[in-house]
Amino acid sequence: MLRFALLTLLALPLAAQDRIGTVQLRVSTDRSDWRYDPGQPVRFRIVAIQDGHPLTGVKVSIRIGPEMMPPKIEQTATLTADGITVEGGTLNEPGFLRCIATLEQNGKTYRGLATAAFQPEKIQPTQQDPADFDPFWAAGKAALAKLPIDAKVAPLPEYGNALADCFHVNLQNVGMGNAASRFYGVLCEPKAPGKYPALLSVPGAGVRPYRGLADMAARGVITLQIGIHGIPVTMEQSVYDSLGAGALSSYNTFGLDNRDRYYFRRVYLGCVRANDFLTSHPKWDGVNLAVTGGSQGGALSIVTAALDPRVRGLAAYYPALSDVTGYLQNRAGGWPHMFRADGPQSHRSPDKIETTKYYDVVNFARRVKVPGLYSWGFNDETCPPTSMYSAYNVIPGQKRLLLALETGHNNIPEQVAEVQTWLLAFLKTAGR
């Protein structure tokens, strides 16, 4: 019976073989630099590839409009072997025009996008700079300074390597009202005796554990990778998953109606406290201190560089919390998009809008005077480029922008290598 079944399978004609593969839906602009002047038309090219060859005869849905806004153009077209070109219109002012294409194949939806830039260097923020911004944060730092660091350090031998030792660290930080809280992270330091530069690594959004930057420490840098939620950063992943889905869900809007109780007050000051610890480290060289991170961490990098004069430089990927009020002016705003929606579930109340003036990265960017490397892509839908340029364009300090045009809310190996090379070189030469 088994021999008969095998013979039957082998006898099936080739035509009975099924075929499946991943579809790559690619959207591109008609200019290789993705840049246009206001009023110039954009043409988007759309092509789908499967198994290395064009996918033809399938329908693609197309939506075109200013990023994160309702589309101005909606249409359906059939793909050909050469792809299709669609007229995207234009923008009459600085900003970004985005084409999003989707198609259905084998029961799955595939998506591609491209974003045309219109004089992004001229984008200006919508967020207001309150007159008492500096006194507000000076008072916060004064309250922090009254609290001893009270560092508690425990070895993490399994996190280190041949050249670096790692430790779980928790520090005393400001809390709600007069209560103190704790701030946690993973310290990695070079094993060899000597004096070294220091790097604060600040986290992206979410709730997760951290392992530190042992590889960077092995290259001669003291590193402290922090969490922001006032909980240990070395627990099981399931603990963070539960907190992220429960008690810490939507933490980015906790207390938004009160500038003294907004969630990020403790976070921003906690980053300064982390630097208090780093600059007290016996192996610190006494001069060189930088901060780096992406998304929420990109925001915290800018915030920390603005708040803490000990910071000599920063590297920020796609900074969040930038120009969050953009939506109130009918354009894209930054993560966490608290003002995107109107209606019963909206955060668009005067007290919440007022609070963001003291936490928006735009207003910290206005105060960044140290050198920085910034990096993002035009296709980011989490931290829209309009919001990021709103912050970047008002930075008075020395700045360099490294664009990975096609990326969304992610980075690519070449981008990471460039940023790390810059950071290492900066940390070892900035104080000379």
Q: Please give the positions annotated as active site.
A: 295, 380, 409
336 CB burial (10 A radius; 0-12, 13-18, 19+):
buried
Q: Write down the H helix ranges in 348-411.
A: 350-356, 361-365, 385-392
Please write down the HEC assignment for all residues of 41-60. Answer: CEEEEEEEEECCEECCCCEE
306: CB partners within 8 A, 6+ apart: 364, 365, 367, 368
Cβ count near 163 (within 10 Å): 15
- C-alpha atoms less than 13 angstroms from C-alpha of 273 in its C-beta half-sphere: 34
Cβ count near 324 (within 10 Å): 29
> In 3D, which of 192, 175, 172, 194 has the Cα closest to residue 184?
172
Is there a contact between 344 and 358 (Cβ–Cβ < 8 Å)? no
423 CB burial (10 A radius; 0-12, 13-18, 19+):
buried
Largest Cα–Cα distance in the chain? 87
169 CB burial (10 A radius; 0-12, 13-18, 19+):
buried
Edge-to-edge strand list for the sheet holding 372-376? 152-155, 164-174, 180-190, 222-226, 196-201, 284-294, 313-317, 372-376, 399-403
Is there a contact between 417 and 388 (Cβ–Cβ < 8 Å)? no
